[in-house]
Structure 1
């Protein structure tokens, strides 16, 4: 089955999610239902990315096993769940995806991102942390999400095959910061 053409999430609101009334103006921000007065602002969702370093200061990159970005490289991470702090989400995502436990984390940067899944694009704000783990041994990837990992200093081949531009930008920033320290 062919995937639908990508559309911004606000265009997917053909009907009010509260009362079901037809939306005469799909794509408007905020969504405002003239029938029940419900409003939805389409604010960005939060996501975290972990730049996990081993004791040799190599970065952990992971290959995605599913779309979006199947077979491309990325960083451990994901969306922040409701009721969860950013730091809790970071620790949870790294543990779920790699079975590694964070021992240190420091916010490196934030940035906007767009995430397209099943033809709908949502705005995201990514928060990237440089992290250390209790032990870099015994990585066990979540096979439903990831299919390979590598400890490395990412090169042009990896950077050119990233699933998400925001991950590439974060790695490039980490590389620039690292090279300034030399």
Structure 2
């Protein structure tokens, strides 16, 4: 069973009081007036393209989306820009260094982790790698990769609908 993040707040994280109005946005504690707005967290995805305009797709080795395709990327950490997060996440997952990146689109997404759903805003960048032939996957995160002109076989097996949206938008802009 999956629940929205706001349904998981049964007690105030500040004072610990049990909440009578669970699920409201914003969460507001009746006792201490502490508020949580459950705004979307930011995540980044790299549409990494090689010299033949093939796209790097990676297969997820864990949930959510285990066994499905996606784009290298992840959550933006506190204190870093989206571009810094993109470069960090791409390097952590693939060992690729980016030489160019250009914002393509932003898209809402939902991240279901162990049954709790977090609202996410994904920022997708079209990127070129310094050396696209040197992909080394982080095995705890990913178990396969392909350089492809994405077909429905891949698009129908994407871990996140926002990834598919970004890929289809990118493909629609190709000459």
Does residue 1:161 correspond to 2:134, yes or no?
no
Partner of 1:15: 11
Partner of 2:115: 119
Partner of 1:86: 82
Of residues 122, 131, 137, the one that matches 2:133 is 137
Per-residue CA shift, 1:44-77, capped at 9, x if unaligned?
A: 0000000000111110000000000000000000
Q: Measure, in 2, the Cα distance between the counterparts of 1:167 and 1:26.
A: 31
The offset of 1:29, in angstroms, is 0.4
Partner of 1:63: 59
Aligned Cα root-mean-square deviation (Å): 0.5
Of residues 158, 167, 172, the one that matches 1:171 is 167
Partner of 2:28: 32
Where in structure 1 do 4 or more consecutive aligned residues deviate above 2 Å?
none
**TM (normalized to structure 1)?**
0.95
